[in-house]
Amino acid sequence: MDNKTDTKGEHLIIFDTTLRDGEQSPGISLDTAEKLEIAEQLARLNVDYIEAGFPVASQGDFEAVSAIAKSVEGPIIAGLSRTQLHDVDRCWDALKFAEKARIHVFISTSPSHMEHMLHMDQAQVLAEVKSGVGRAREHTDDVEFSPQDATRTPLDFMIEVLNAAIEAGATCLNIPDTVGYGIPWDFGALISYVRKMVPGEYILSTHCHNDLGLATANSLAGVQAGARQVEVCVNGIGERAGNAALEEVVMAVNIRSDQFPGVTTTVNTSEIAKTSRLVARLTGYPVQYNKAVVGRNAFAHESGIHQHGVLAERSTYEIIEASSVGQAGRQIVLGKHSGRHAFSDTLEKMGLKVQGDTLNATFNRFKELADRKVQITEADLEAIVAEELGTAVSSEFVLEELEVSGGTVAQPMARVVIDKDGTKSEGKAEGNGMIDAACNALSNATGVNAKLSEFNVSAVTGGIDALGDVVIQVESNGIKVSGRGVSTDVVEASARAYLNAVNRILRMQAKGDEREVEIGP
C-alpha cells in the first residue's frame, strides 16, 4: 500500500460540511452572518476543514464562502465546484483570501447520473475530471476530487476516474455514498479496494448519507478500512435523511479507540453540545430528543435501576461523560438586576460575539425576559442571541406590539403593530387559534402571505416560566424558509418566528438569491 494517509500519521481529518451539504437540507437558508457564526464555532470545535459552500451556486453562496475565507482562522476553508473551468475559477475567487484553501471538485460517475443528469458518456466524464482537477491544481495544491454516486458506480470505471484525478493532481479522493446506499462491510470493502487499486500519495475520504440510517456506521467502516478523512455535518443534517453526524463519528472513534488503533481526531469535544445547539437554532432544524451524543435525553436516566446505578457510579449506564461533550448541567448566569456590563461579559465568556446594535437589541430582549423569568440560564441567553442575530441580519420588519384574544368561546383575534425603518403599520385578523390569528395579522401588516408548513415548539429550559422556542417553516411563492422566535409566551414566540421568516423571504426576493445551480439528486 503506497498511498499515505496523512502527513500527521494516524490523524483522522474532520471535514465539516454543515455549511455546504448541511445547508442543502430543505428549508434551511442561512445568511452570511449566520454562516460566519457557525464557521467561527466550528473553528472553536477545531475541525480540520470547513466546507463553506458552493460558490457558483448563487451570489449568496459566493459571498458567504469569501467572508469565511477572509475571516475564519484555524481550519482550512474548502469550496465545492463542478468540473467546468468557470466553476473552478469562481470557487477559487471565493476562497483565495483564506490562509489555506481547498477546492473540492466533483462529477457524477454512476450510469444513472451520467445518463439522466449529465448526458455524458464515460470518455466525456474522464475528460471533465482531468480538466476540472487540473484547473483546480493551478490555483491550489490542496485539491479534493469526488466521483458523485460512487457506491452505484461500476468499480472499474470508478477506479479509472480516481486514477485520472490523481494524475491530474488531486491530493484527496473522496468516496461519496450520495444516496445512502452503502452497507458498512460493503462500504468498508469499497474503501479497501480503492486503497489497493489507486496508488499514490493522497488522503482517502468518506462522505456518507443517511438514507438507511447507516451514515455513521458506513463512515466508521471506511475509517477502519483506511480512510483518514470523514465528511460530516453537525447534528447529521444534510440532503434528505442527512449526512454522517460529526458528533457521532468523533465520539465513536474517541470512545472505541480499541477499534481504531492509533486513529485520533483533534476535535475539542467539549464544544460539541454548544455547536449542536447553535446549528439547531440557526438552521431551524431541532435535534431529536434521543439523538446520540447531543440529544437532550442522551444523558437522562428514567428508570429507577439506571438512576440508582448512575448515582452510585456514572459508568454503570453511561459510556460518555456528559462534560466531555459540553453537556454538563446548565448554569444560571443572570437575573433581573444584572446590568449591561455583566450581560456582555457573560456573552463573551460563553463565546458569543455580539456587538453594536445587536448587543443593544439583545440586551433589551434580556431585560424584557428578566422581568418575566427570575433566573436566566446560558441556554436562555443562547436562544435570545440566536434570535436577535437572525433578526439583525435580515431585519426589515420588527414586532412592536401584539395583542391576542381567544379561548373556547370567542373567535380568536389578533392585532399587531410592526415597524419598518421607523414606519409603523398595524394588522388585525381572526384565526382558528391565537397563533394562527397572530400570523394572519402579521401577514396583513407586512403584505406577505406566507403559508405555515411546519411548526415546532420546545422549552429552552425546565420550569413554568421556561422560554418557548418556536421554529417554523413557511412557504411563499415557491420560497421555503425557516424562522425562529423565543419568548416566555408561546403565541409571542410564534409571532416572532413568523416575522423572522417573512423577513428572510423578503431578503431572498430582494437579492434574487435562489440557487442557480444544483448539486444532484
What's the CA gap between 391 and 152, in Å, rounded? 43
Taking 3-state DSSP, the helix, strand and coil percentages for the chain, each rounded to the nearest 5, stand at 45, 20, 35
What ranges in 3-58 are assigned the alpha helix state H?
32-45
Minimal distance in Å, beta carbon 521 to ligand KIV?
A: 9
From residue 186 to residue 225, what is the string marking binding to ligand KIV with x (rule CB under 6 A)?
---------------------x-x----------------
From residue 9 to residue 48, what is the string marking binding to Zn ion with x (rule CB under 5 A)?
------------x---------------------------
The amino acid present at 45, given as its one-letter code, is: L
Closer to ligand KIV at the Cβ: 101 or 359? 101
> Is position 148 an interface residue for ligand KIV (rule: CB under 6 A)?
yes
Q: Name the burial class of residue 156, with classes exposed (0-12), middle (13-18) and buried (19+) by CB atoms within 10 angstroms of its CB.
A: exposed
Spell out the SS3 assignment of 132-157.
HHHHHHHHCCCEEEEEECHHHCCHHH
Residues 41-80 that bind ligand KIV (CB under 6 A): 80
Helical (H) or strand (E) element with 374: none
Residues 280-319 that bind Zn ion (CB under 5 A): none
Minimal distance in Å, beta carbon 238 to ligand KIV?
A: 8
Neighbours of 305 (CB within 10 A): 10
What's the CA gap between 154 and 136, in Å, rounded? 26
Cβ–Cβ < 8 Å for 177, 207:
yes
DSSP lists the bridge partners of residue 418 as: 399, 425
What's the CA gap between 85 and 91, in Å, rounded? 10
The secondary structure of 395-425 as a DSSP string is -S-EEEEEEEE-SSSSPPEEEEEEEETTEEE
Give backbone dihedrals phi and psi of 19, rounded to 5 degrees, phi first: -85, -10
Minimal distance in Å, beta carbon 168 to ligand KIV?
A: 17
Closer to Zn ion at the Cβ: 21 or 34? 21
Minimal distance in Å, beta carbon 22 to ligand KIV?
A: 10
Closer to Zn ion at the Cβ: 75 or 238? 238
What's the CA gap between 52 and 206, in Å, rounded? 18
- What, of ligand KIV, Zn ion, none, does residue 366 touch, CB below 5 to 8 Å by kind? none
Minimal distance in Å, beta carbon 239 to ligand KIV?
A: 7
Closer to ligand KIV at the Cβ: 67 or 173? 173
Contacts with ligand KIV: how many residues (CB under 6 A)? 10
- What, of Zn ion, ligand KIV, none, does residue 291 touch, CB below 5 to 8 Å by kind? none
- What, of Zn ion, ligand KIV, none, does residue 146 touch, CB below 5 to 8 Å by kind? ligand KIV
Minimal distance in Å, beta carbon 106 to ligand KIV?
A: 4
Q: Name the burial class of residue 315, with classes exposed (0-12), middle (13-18) and buried (19+) by CB atoms within 10 angstroms of its CB.
A: exposed
Closer to ligand KIV at the Cβ: 153 or 503? 153
- The secondary structure of residue 330, as a DSSP letter, is P
- What, of ligand KIV, Zn ion, none, does residue 482 touch, CB below 5 to 8 Å by kind? none
From residue 85 to residue 124, what is the string marking binding to ligand KIV with x (rule CB under 6 A)?
---------------------x------------------
Closer to ligand KIV at the Cβ: 178 or 446? 178
Cβ–Cβ < 8 Å for 187, 227:
no
Give backbone dihedrals phi and psi of 450, rounded to 5 degrees, phi first: -110, 125
Cβ–Cβ < 8 Å for 482, 283:
yes
What's the CA gap between 274 and 301, in Å, rounded? 22
- What, of Zn ion, ligand KIV, none, does residue 431 touch, CB below 5 to 8 Å by kind? none
| Residue closest to Zn ion when measured from CB atoms | 21
Closer to ligand KIV at the Cβ: 83 or 146? 146
- What, of Zn ion, ligand KIV, none, does residue 106 touch, CB below 5 to 8 Å by kind? ligand KIV
- What, of Zn ion, ligand KIV, none, does residue 49 touch, CB below 5 to 8 Å by kind? none
Residues 460-519 that bind ligand KIV (CB under 6 A): 519
What's the CA gap between 301 and 60, in Å, rounded? 44
Q: Which three cell numbers stand for residue 303?
A: 428508570
- The secondary structure of residue 175, as a DSSP letter, is E
Spell out the SS3 assignment of 291-314.
CCCCCCCCCCCCCHHHHHHHHHCH
- What, of ligand KIV, Zn ion, none, does residue 66 touch, CB below 5 to 8 Å by kind? none
DSSP lists the bridge partners of residue 405 as: 413
Closer to Zn ion at the Cβ: 21 or 248? 21
- What, of Zn ion, ligand KIV, none, does residue 350 touch, CB below 5 to 8 Å by kind? none
What's the CA gap between 67 and 57, in Å, rounded? 16
Minimal distance in Å, beta carbon 210 to Zn ion?
A: 10
Residue among 57, 59, 56 nearest 32 (CA): 59
Cβ–Cβ < 8 Å for 85, 131:
yes
Minimal distance in Å, beta carbon 73 to Zn ion?
A: 26
- What, of ligand KIV, Zn ion, none, does residue 148 touch, CB below 5 to 8 Å by kind? ligand KIV
Contacts with Zn ion: how many residues (CB under 5 A)? 1
> Is position 21 an interface residue for ligand KIV (rule: CB under 6 A)?
yes
Binding site for ligand KIV (CB under 6 A): 21, 80, 106, 146, 148, 176, 178, 207, 209, 519
Binding site for Zn ion (CB under 5 A): 21
